[in-house]
Structure 1
Amino acid sequence: MTTDQIRNWIATPANIQALLINIGLSAVVLFTTYLIIKILSSIIDRVIKERNINEENTDSETDNRLISDNLIRSTRVLLKTLLLYGGYFFAAILILQIFQVKVISVDDLKTAAVKIIKIVGVLVGARLAVNIGQITVKQIFERHKLNEQRRAQTLEALLRNVLTYIIFFLAALMIMEIFNVNTSAILASAGILGLAVGFGAQNLVKDIISGFFILFEDQFSVGDFVETAGIIGTVEEIGLRTCKIRQWTGQLHIIPNGEITRVTNYNRGHMMAVVTVGIAYEEDIDRAIEVLKQESYIAYKDIETILDEPQVQGVTELADSSVNIRTVAPTAPGEQWVIERELRRRFKYALDRAGIEIPYPRRVLYQREEDIHILKDQQYEG
């Protein structure tokens, strides 16, 4: 409008009156919107409220709540935010309608409102699904009563994160569908990208998958003495990609989980200490066995890590210079080597006290008398 047109419009009393009415109606709309937002916010605060802090609930009861405080708090903030911005948005639309400025039609407004409601429903449903999934994962771990706390926490956190990402990814796809976005192309592109990444990082993926099953199946735990990938030592750390095993001589080996194909665990169940003692062929075998039995019983009474009385199994081999007798003793996990060393020490002393000879490599030389005379004649001539 030009300056003259504006002056002519202002000079008309009817136009001034219509403008004042429109301004008044706009003020009424804003004030009404403000009151409605305040009232509805108060109702939301009363209906959707968190658990009382002073309420005495155990940690397990709090964790097993289907609707957690975080979900309640997030839902309340989301609804109040939508109420605030949505209320003033509709107020602005009404004010523009009052001033006969058409920005959006009634049909478009209805469509937008329906989309907003759908989006809110998808977000709230996704958050509720995440909460239910996390409670389910926690109950599964509690039901199996995993002993290794660190392993349980690692697996639980991993499954919770994977579940959260999957649910919100699906929620994002549903929101795109609400806006008529073709998600098939996105999924196809994501599949191609995932395939390319999988080929490029197949060793990493293999390590992570192997690490997950090592933790899930509890093949070994921190502190176990194991043999795997050609390494023998104590497990110091288990991760999703690598495991750290320290050899008894001090070296720390970092092994990718993908290389762990077979594991020998020396800490699962009762172990056996095996001690083989050789006696000379000239000795009485039955007497030697009786001496070993008596010493084994004394060791069983003295050492707590021997779980049952050792058994002297008898002669296991007729070797070149000894008769070998084997003794076995069930021990606590990881104590079998200590028991073997202690039993060897005790058996040595017991056999010495009994006068039973333990053979050792010896060489006996026999010399004929003719050779002795020849040596003596050579000495005299010299």
Structure 2
Amino acid sequence: MEWLNNLVLDPRAFHGRQPWEVWGITILHVLLIFLAARLLVWAGKLGIVRLFNSLAGKGLFLEVRHLGLIKIIVQTLFAYGVYFLALILTVHYFGGRIISPEDLKGFGGAVLKISLILLGAGFLARFGKGSIENLFIEEKGKAGWQENRRLQTLKTLLRSVFIYGTYFLAGLMVLETIGVKTSSLIAGAGLVGLAVGFGAQSLVRDVITGFFITFEDNFTIGDLITTAGVTGTVEDMGLRTTRLREWTGQLHIIPNGEITIVTNFSRGGMFAVVTVNISYEVDVEQAMEVLREACKEAKRELPAIVEDPLVQGVIEMGDAGLTVRIAARTLAGEQWAVERELRKRLKKALDAAGLGVAYPRHVVMHQGGMAVKEAPSPLKGAKEDREDA
């Protein structure tokens, strides 16, 4: 067997042999190398599959879909690495050199280090994501529904910052491993960032404003707000833009830097305010009593009204009659629906009492077939036309 080893491992043993022997030994040598490589790839892939199946069964750190992707990447890198090594051995067999043993050792160490960095970054990202999830789950159990929406927004923001920060640091470590000076790269990026910053001041302002909007909880997803001249429901909040949907369906995308003054209709107790005009001819006290009874009935039947509506009294003496104002504290966001319902109920109550609602009128009086001048009508400021019969 010693002569066979010499033939396979030492091509100088070809001297003095027939050409067909040389070709046969060469082909045998190459086949043995790649057969060994193929067996090594098969065994390595089988071991990788078992390893990742074990990790998936334990549910550690990474989700199943992430493990599947990483498994494919590791299998591919392993297979290409083995075949590359087989190619190097084949070239060395013929007296050539692709890479020196020292370089090969350094290359293998770098590949191993990069693999460990990426795997560690994946574990750290998964661990941080799970920790953030658990932290906010505990807080959500103690908070109300509005606070829960704010916590959901903060959770998404913190999770994204942590994951992207982890992979950014991993990328810098990988660059250092392959010999790239990250210090000069970061310095260059700083200069580029400074130059870009002068041309993207509005973008920076949008991002900073978006962060403080989320942090200070000025509004959150689902709130009804007015800002930048638009009234709508907040559909989405990002670091750069906020999306508002009007009740008519239009979607407005507003840069956060344009959000300066915000009116929030979904925080705290809101009021439904309704005004009713009653005629000068009716008994004011009777009319207000009818309105009070209608308001009490509305409170009993409408869950959106949290307190008995208050008939505040006469607030104006207008051309058409007396204006009475009613205010009702409601659930946030329900004030407009309550206003519509109250108007309908108050109108029906006044009609049922024979009082009705005041409206502008013109009085024309005739005497002997000719229009005559008359003192102003009881309706204050009412215009009286004088016309021929």
TM-score, structure 1 normalization: 0.68
TM-superposition CA deviations, 1:139-164 (whole Å, max 9, x none): 45555559699999887776655554
1:246 matched to which residue of 2? 246
CA distance 1:171–1:272, shift in 2 (3 Å): same
Is the contact between residue 207 and residue 242 of structure 1 (CA under 8 Å) also seen in structure 2?
A: no
Alignment counterpart, residue 50 of structure 2, candidates 18, 28, 46:
46
Q: Does 1:72 align with 2:67?
A: yes
Shift in Å, 1:104: 3.6
Alignment of 1:151-162 (within 5 A): none
Partner Cα separation in structure 2 for residue 252 and residue 36 of structure 1: 58
Cα pair 2:220 2:234 within 8 Å, conserved: no
Equivalent residues in 2 for 1:274-289, closer than 5 Å: 274-275=273-274
- Separation of aligned partners in 2, 1:190 and 1:80: 34
Secondary structure of 2:221's counterpart equals coil
Partner of 1:260: 259
Cα distance 1:206–1:335, how it changes in 2: closer, same or farther (>3 A)?
Answer: same
Unaligned runs of at least 5 residues, structure 2: 1-12, 364-373, 377-389
* More displaced stretch, 277-286 vs 73-82: 277-286
The share of aligned pairs that are identical, in percent, is: 37
Distance 1:328 1:31 in 2: 88
**Are the structure 2 counterparts of residues 147 and 284 from structure 1 closer, same or farther at C-alpha, using a change threshold of 3 Å?**
closer
Contact kept, 8 Å, 1:22 with 1:99, in 2: the verdict is: no
Q: Which amino acid aligns with 1:117?
A: L
Q: Cα distance 1:229–1:348, how it changes in 2: closer, same or farther (>3 A)?
A: same
Aligned residue in 2 for 1:375: none
Distance 2:357 2:98 in 1: 110
Q: Distance in 2 between matches of 1:36 and 1:359?
A: 96
Taking the aligned partners of 1:164 and 1:302, their CA distance within structure 2 comes to: 51
Q: Provide Cα deviations, 1:294-346, integer angstroms capped at 9, x if missing partner.
A: 23222323444323322345x57687999876543222333323434544565
- Number of residues of Structure 1 aligned to a counterpart in Structure 2: 345
Amino acid at match of 1:256: P
* Equivalent residue runs for 1:177-256 within 5 Å: 177-211=176-210, 214=213, 217=217, 219-222=219-222, 224-231=223-230, 233-235=231-233, 237-238=235-236, 240=238, 241-246=241-246, 255-256=254-255
Pairwise CA distance, 1:356: 11
Aligned residue for 1:328, secondary structure, equals: strand
Deviation at 1:178, TM superposition (A): 1.4
> Hey, what's the Cα distance between the residues in 2 that align with 1:269 and 1:260?
21
TM-score (norm 2): 0.67
**Uncovered stretches (5+) of structure 1, i.e. residues with no partner:** 1-8, 56-60, 367-382
Over residues 159-201 of structure 1, what are the superposed CA-to-partner deviations in whole Å (9 max), with x where a residue is unaligned?
A: 6555544333322221221122211111111122222222212
Aligned partners of 2:267 and 2:332 also within 8 Å: yes
Q: Partner residue of 1:5? A: none
